[in-house]
Amino acid sequence: MSNDPHNGQPVLMTGVPLEQARAAMVMLHGRGASAADILGLASEFTAADMAFLAP
């Protein structure tokens, strides 16, 4: 049995598909926020060929 509360949770993605990305950024949210919250910052990065992932 795992004590990891995030075990089995989805990883949200935005940007280009991972297979086509030149680079990927893993974005981590703070306590009380969600993966969707942190992905809102992806638009602040101008690289058109990046994938953004948020666990």
Cβ atoms of residues 43 and 16 within 8 Å: no
Q: What is the pTM of this model?
A: 0.81
- Identify the pLDDT of residue 48: 86
- Identify the pLDDT of residue 9: 83
- Identify the pLDDT of residue 24: 96
d(CA 16, CA 44): 15
Distances from the Cα of 8 to the Cαs of 2, 20, 21, 36, 48, in angstroms? 10, 25, 25, 17, 30
pLDDT per residue as tens, the chain (55 positions): 568 777 888 899 999 999 999 999 999 988 888 889 999 999 888 788 999 999 8
